[in-house]
Amino acid sequence: MQHGGLPRRRSVKTQVAIIGGGPAGLLLAELLHRQGIASIVLEKHSRAHVLSRIRAGVLEPTTIEVLRANGLSERMDRLGHRHDGVRIVWAGRDSYFLDVARHVGKHLMTYGQTSIQEDLYAAADRRRAVVLTDGPEIGINELPQIAAQLGGDGDAGHDMADMRAPSVASVSIAPEADPQLTISTPSLGLLDAAGDVRPLEELERDVIRFAISHYRGQMSQVARRLQIGRSTLYRKLEGLGLATEVTESADA
């Protein structure tokens, strides 16, 4: 990642702004990236601080499945400890073993949150993710589109559930914040979780998926920017299994 401070107030535009760079925030960013959705992650603490936090270390089956399905489990599967269930203990009473493997055919995994955090940062590094750290507390007025819908005063009394989410979020960074910035254009991960080059078909699928998202389904512009004809683009959509994902907007 390339790091550097922001010399002046500026806006960083993205489709999704994620508040918090812990495991949940970085995993969400990874999942969005795999669907061609751009995001930035905002974390008030430093990367070193986030990586130093010691938290819980037991993963439930659903979490394990999500990590495996998204190519994030290589180190977990190698270093984690699989468990058939959990033992519940009360002071002065007999313990009770909840046999997850027997009843639902799944397992738990002991694997520290710090290790998961390291894995997610490594994945973010590979795809050159945008991560802002060491920033101030983020409020409504740092999210201009949302502030505008609230009248610009950041009044917590407004009902945010009634707001229509903007298609592109803009996060305003003040100069005094001087966060550490990982700058990237929306980039393509060339390596898989094992460090090998990804197949060309996967890369082409990700490029086309991102282009469609970036140009909001305007297929003429997608084809023009990819320097291919529309008919070629539609053939590729069919061949790469993307046709069912595409809802074309009216081209200008």
Residues 6+ apart with CB under 8 A from 150: 140, 158, 160, 163
pLDDT at 113: 86
Residues 6+ apart with CB under 8 A from 146: 140, 160, 163, 166
Concatenated DSSP letters for the chain? ------SS-EEEEESEEEE--SHHHHHHHHHHHHTT--EEEE-SS-HHHHHH-----EE-HHHHHHHHHTT--HHHHHH-EEESEEEE--TTS--EEEEHHHHHS--EEE--HHHHHHHHHHHHHHTT-EEEES-----GGGSHHHHHHTTSS--TTS-GGGSPPPSSEEEEE-TTT--EE----S----B-TTSPBPPHHHHHHHHHHHHHHHTTT-HHHHHHHHTS-HHHHHHHHHHTT-GGG--PPPP-
Q: Give the CATH number of domain 200-245; options: 3.30.70, 1.25.40, 1.10.10, 1.10.3470.
A: 1.10.10
Q: CB neighbours (10 Å) of residue 242?
A: 18
Span 1-56+115-188 CATH architecture:
3-Layer(bba) Sandwich (3.50)
- Residue 177 near residue 6, CB atoms below 8 Å: yes
Domain span(s) for CATH 3.50.50 in the chain: 1-56+115-188
**Is the full-model pTM beyond 0.85?**
no
Domain span(s) for CATH 1.10.10 in the chain: 200-245
pLDDT tens track of the chain, all 252 residues? 433 333 345 566 788 889 889 999 999 999 999 998 989 898 888 888 888 888 778 899 999 999 999 999 999 999 999 999 988 888 888 888 989 899 999 999 999 888 999 999 999 998 888 888 876 666 656 566 666 666 655 444 444 444 444 444 455 444 444 444 443 445 566 776 677 788 888 888 888 888 887 777 788 888 888 989 888 888 888 888 887 766 544 343
